[in-house]
Amino acid sequence: MKFEDFVDKLKVRLSMPLPGMDAQLRMAPPKRLPTDVYLKMKDVNPKRSAVLVCFYPKQESVYTVLMQRPNEQGYHSSQVSFPGGKVEKGDVNFEQTALREAYEEVGINPAEIEVIGHLSAVYIPVSNFLVHPVVAVAPTAPDFRMNITEVQEIIETDCSVFLNPQIKSTAVFLSSGGLSVEAPFYHINRFRIWGATAMMISELEEVIRDIFPFV
């Protein structure tokens, strides 16, 4: 499938109801509640953040980019995530937050991409962030430039690997609170991706599978 055709189909799919919580919870840590349940709790007043899920053509396939955070960055130290960060004063919407952060962290030029939709928000209890995934496309591979204070490694990923069931498994991870947690993960490019990012990828996987139903 040509990248242009992929983009057209993706726009249509994102305009429809999203897979949402059912897809997210398939790759969630144990005892993780649906996001809307957390948001109904009286003592939950989440901080807002946004990440950028950017698709682009590369090597006759469709790629997206993830990143590994440095090992001294608090709750999410060394974890793999999409580029993004917290909403700052002056951001008019989540799109602006995601674009600004992606430019600061991995050098994606906002002028060279098109925002086409969103995935479902994910609440992260340990850090009290509600993360909004913003979906965008670029006509060519971005000229990535890593901010070494915020990023340890840029991880370009062929999206077709998300559809491979063999990259899913379960392992014991050390949570930011120091507890051992057995959780599902994606094994991508030698990285084990779990937690909120795995939940986002799980929904993304279902969206992509709807575009490529024969896979």
Average the pLDDT over 155-178 and give the result: 90
pLDDT in tens, 121-149: 999 998 999 999 999 999 999 999 999 99
pLDDT of residue 72: 67
Q: Does 169 have pLDDT greater than 90?
A: yes
185 three-class SS: strand
pLDDT of residue 114: 98
pLDDT in tens, 183-193: 999 999 999 99
8 Å CB contact between 7 and 137: yes
Average the pLDDT over 173-196 and give the result: 88
What's the domain count of the chain?
A: 1
β strands within 80-151, DSSP E: 80-81, 84-86, 114-118, 122-124, 129-137
Of residues 19 and 126, more confidence is placed in: 19
Tokens read off for 52:
């950028």
Q: Does 215 have pLDDT greater than 50?
A: no
* pLDDT band, very low/low/confident/very high, at 74 (cuts 50, 70, 90): low
8 Å CB contact between 96 and 110: no
Give the domain extent around 38: 3-211
β-pairing verdict for 153-158 and 129-137: unpaired
State percent of the chain over pLDDT 70: 95
Q: Does 17 have pLDDT greater than 60?
A: yes
Q: Which of 58, 50, 80 is nearest to 143 (CA)?
A: 58
Q: Does 212 have pLDDT greater than 90?
A: no
pLDDT of residue 12: 97
* pLDDT band, very low/low/confident/very high, at 164 (cuts 50, 70, 90): very high
* pLDDT band, very low/low/confident/very high, at 78 (cuts 50, 70, 90): confident
C-alpha pair distances (Å), 143 with each of 50, 149, 151, 165: 21, 18, 15, 31
- Give alpha helix (H) positions in 55-147: 94-106
Assign residue 188 the CATH number of its domain. Answer: 3.90.79.10
What pTM does this model have? Answer: 0.93
196-211 vs 3-14: helix axis angle to the nearest 10? 110
pLDDT of residue 176: 67
Q: Does 77 have pLDDT greater than 70?
A: no
Burial of 129 by CB count in 10 Å (0-12 exposed, 13-18 middle, 19+ buried)? buried
